[in-house]
Amino acid sequence: MRPLPFEQAALARLLSGYAWLPSPAWAESIGWALAVLQSAIGLALLLAPRGRVRKGAALLAAAYWAAGLALLLGPAAWIHDPPYRGFPVIGSGQTLLKHLGIAALALGLYARERGCGDGARRALYGLWLGQLLVLVWIGLMKFTAVEAQGVAGLMRASPLFAWLYGPLSEQGASNLIGAIELATAALIALWPWRPQWARWGLWAAVSTYLLTNSFLFTTPGWQPGYGFPYVGGTAQFLLKDLLLLAGAAVLALSAPPRRRA
């Protein structure tokens, strides 16, 4: 979708928010370059046999997702309108928080292709930290008014969540979801030491990601004027949860690497 006008416009807005990125005038060229890069990586991971090509694609995927974390250093990722300022209040940067876990998943694929035990260990711990980063940060965000307002539009349209707004206020429903996310994160935090307890949190995270993706069916996530299968910004944000789901499942099915003596 990168070459499409709505994606190029979004890329131009992104570039305009960072002094150290190319000018928005380059949005079309960069969009095409990203389209080629992302398509090549995806096709290689899906279709290439095990070997050098898949290994290179996995490494490129890890680098691509990790590079996106640098955008958290710019003001465009944050909310600056009072009273919503400072940690944990973040705007478009919420989607960037997911990049750590996704990059670790790609690193795990690279380590598997290489048969590298050290790389696999690093990938597992990256997956663990990626889960904690998302669940803790976005969980804390749920206790802010700006996030409560933001998720209300998704939750009110969902039969799985709309009932919460009967007994609870808009902020109360958001607080409940935030508390569940933080409790899930607390269990996952125990993974290196108590994996049997952490698995409860990891499977809860898998359920959370499945539930958030149900919003794709209850809240139109398709780009206005384009429709299926062209996903807009909200749907793109939600689809990344499928990769976090895969990371949580990998952790739940894996034993923590033994520390070397």
Which tens digit of pLDDT belongs to each residue from 173-185?
A: 999 999 999 999 9
Number of separate domains in the chain: 1
Q: Is residue 16 part of a domain?
A: no
Q: Is residue 96 part of a domain?
A: yes
Q: Is residue 29 part of a domain?
A: no
Q: State yes or no: pLDDT of 259 exceeds 70.
A: no
Q: Is residue 158 part of a domain?
A: yes
Q: Is residue 35 part of a domain?
A: no
Q: Is residue 76 part of a domain?
A: yes
Condensed to tens digits (0 to 9), the pLDDT of residues 121-143 reads 999 999 999 999 999 999 999 99
Domain hosting 153: range is: 72-252
pLDDT at 136: 97
d(CA 16, CA 49): 40
Q: How many CA atoms lie within 13 A of 191 on its CB side?
A: 28
Q: Is residue 121 part of a domain?
A: yes
Q: Is residue 208 part of a domain?
A: yes
Q: Which residue has the tokens 């005038």?
A: 25
Q: Do 161 and 148 contact (CB within 8 A), yes or no?
A: no
